[in-house]
Structure 1
Amino acid sequence: MTQSSAAYPSVVPVGVDTARASIARVYDAALNGKDNFEVDREVLAQVRTVAPQVNDLAWANRDFLIRACRFLASQAGIDQYLDLGSGLPTSENTHQVVQRIQPDAKVVYVDNDPMVLAHGRALLGENPRTSIVSGDIFRPHEVLTDRTVRSEIDFDRPLAVFQIGTLHHYLGDDGPAVMQTYIDTLPSGSYLALAHFYDPEEPELSDLARKMEEKFVHSPMGSGRFRTGDEIRAMFGELDMIEPGLVLADDWWPDGPRLAPLSEVRRCIAAGIGRKR
């Protein structure tokens, strides 16, 4: 949801607690955005003490989102998207990428951050094929029964569900069950795109992942789990994984040859896309 900052609400929206860190605002800070506060930047500062390139997590996540959008709109022909945990407006959002390829594509964003909702509604007011609704993405029944979700998304046709950079903020161990509720609702031919903080289970990288997790969880944000490959794969249920499967986010169909090695931080976020038969 990127536009001129003049389109943004001119004051801090009602309900925004500037004394507590927000997941959306921390991501915004990591992407060099302007819609964040000192408490949000403090989260990154804390993690930076063990991982100086912590911002790479957000950039790898964002880069995967853009490539996933292009793939699903152009190769898979998907024209309806449910983007869970949309975050604050930044460059190349889901609706911009997919509607450039499929102008009639519908996108519904779901978030429960007051700042995200206020900015999103301001920017999307003149886009009739894009909506943003308030909802807890970790309560799938709440999302799936939302009136706007049901009116804008046709659950009798294939759609794409995004959980990109979200589930590592769910601290419970029942993430696969949460995702299975979404998956069970999807019609055949639908897709799930997912990116998640990753513990590669290699000595040095695993140590880095655990240090970052410790900082994130005990920061003003209070969340940020680094799960293993098996733990992340379980969230796809029985979906057929699109090649190359669950891999480093940067390794999921990169745009070109890699001329520089990935930072250790970028090797601690994984992503993949699954398809429902």
Structure 2
Amino acid sequence: MSDTHSQIEAAAEIRARIDTTTPHSARFWNYFVGGKDNYEVDREIGDQIKEIFPGLVDVALGSRLFLGRAVRHLVREQGIRQFLDIGTGLPTADNTHEVAQREAPDARIVYVDNDPIVLTHAGALLTSSPEGTTAYLDADLYAPETVLEAAAGTLDFSRPIALIILNTLGHVADYGQARDLVRRLTAGLPAGSHLVISDSTATSEGMIAASNAYNASGATPYHVRGVAEIAGFFEGLDLVAPGITRVPSWRPDPDTPADPAAAPVDAYCGVGRKP
């Protein structure tokens, strides 16, 4: 069987796994940040949640902007040239590899996801700068050691790596398990590596109501947590200033001052360095 035929069959198998009748977290998030890779069922629940809690759009957009600022900081200030992005989601603008390789064309990025809808868009993620490398792994957050072993095919584990897990850990229902997964992933990284996390938080009645509505839609549940629980993911790491904070407040761009009238964003983030 030719490689082309095998690829066609693999793509068909992936498409067959996609359920367009139930809302899907990656497509739902894609809709909120203005993407086009979503279906009517995703837009319907998205519009319902906008009515319940319009602030979730700010969470989505704010988290995306935080990603860009964190990656730029790591490249410029910490000299990081390797990124392991778990829970990739659907590509939109300013993905990890695009931000990193604009700053350092030789940057190497490995994306990790096991979702069929994301797999169908993997080609869009694999467009790297000529000097750098961008790879995609069909792998599972629940198998950290397997993820690290596969990532070693692209990344040099003798040099620092930035581990990025954005808006993903809420899918792990048990907090203890979520912390254990993060601990096992960071344990496999060399000293000088960094952990980057952001997640929606149970910091307003509106966010809690939106989370409950989303979870009742039939989509894979997403569990919003308290700020102290977000901080717990960084145990054993040295937090980069300003520490655990709402996503717009993490090293905001000086040329885009915060709107003092804007409502607080119900998402917290942090960046920690492995000593």
Q: Match for residue 137 of structure 1?
A: 141
CA pair 269-141 structure 1, distance change in 2 beyond 3 A: same
Query: Is the 2:87–2:168 contact (alpha carbons within 8 Å) kept by the matching residues of 1?
Result: yes
Deviation at 1:13, TM superposition (A): 3.3
SS of 2:196's partner is strand
Q: CA deviation at 1:260?
A: 4.3
C-alpha displacement at 1:53, in angstroms?
3.3
TM-score normalized by the length of structure 1: 0.87
- Aligned counterpart in structure 1 of residue 109 of structure 2, from 91, 107, 110: 107
The secondary structure found in structure 1 opposite 2:195 is strand
Displacement after TM superposition at 1:123 (Å)? 4.9
CA contact (8 A) 2:97 2:128 kept: no
Q: Offset of 1:166 from its aligned partner?
A: 1.0
User: How far did 1:171 drift?
Assistant: 1.5
Q: CA RMSD in A?
A: 2.0
Q: 1:39 aligned to 2:41?
A: yes
| Preserved CA contact (<8 Å) 1:176 1:237 | no
* Structure 1 segment 1-277 matched on structure 2, within 5 A: 13-124=15-126, 129-146=133-150, 149-174=151-176, 175-200=178-203, 205=204, 207-256=205-254, 257-264=257-264, 266=265, 268-277=266-275
Task: Answer yes or no: is the 8 Å Cα contact 2:141–2:181 preserved in 1.
Answer: no
Q: Per-residue CA shift, 1:105-135, capped at 9, x if unaligned?
A: 1000001122212212255256560011101
Mean CA deviation greater in 116-125 or 58-67: 116-125
Query: 2:186 is paired with a residue of what secondary structure?
Result: helix
Asked if 2 retains the 8 angstrom alpha-carbon contact of 1:46 and 1:219, the reply is no
Contact 2:22 2:218 in 1 (8 A): yes
CA deviation digits over 1:177-203, x for unaligned, max 9? 111001111110000000011123xxx
Query: Is there any run of 5+ residues in structure 2 with no aligned partner, and where?
Result: 1-10
**Do the aligned residues in 2 keep the contact of 1:44 with 1:54 (CA within 8 Å)?**
no
Taking only the aligned residue pairs, the percentage that are identical comes to: 35
What amino acid is the match of 1:263?
A
TM-score (norm 2): 0.88
Work out the number of aligned pairs and report it.
259
**CA–CA separation in structure 1 for the residues paired with 2:261 and 2:112:** 35
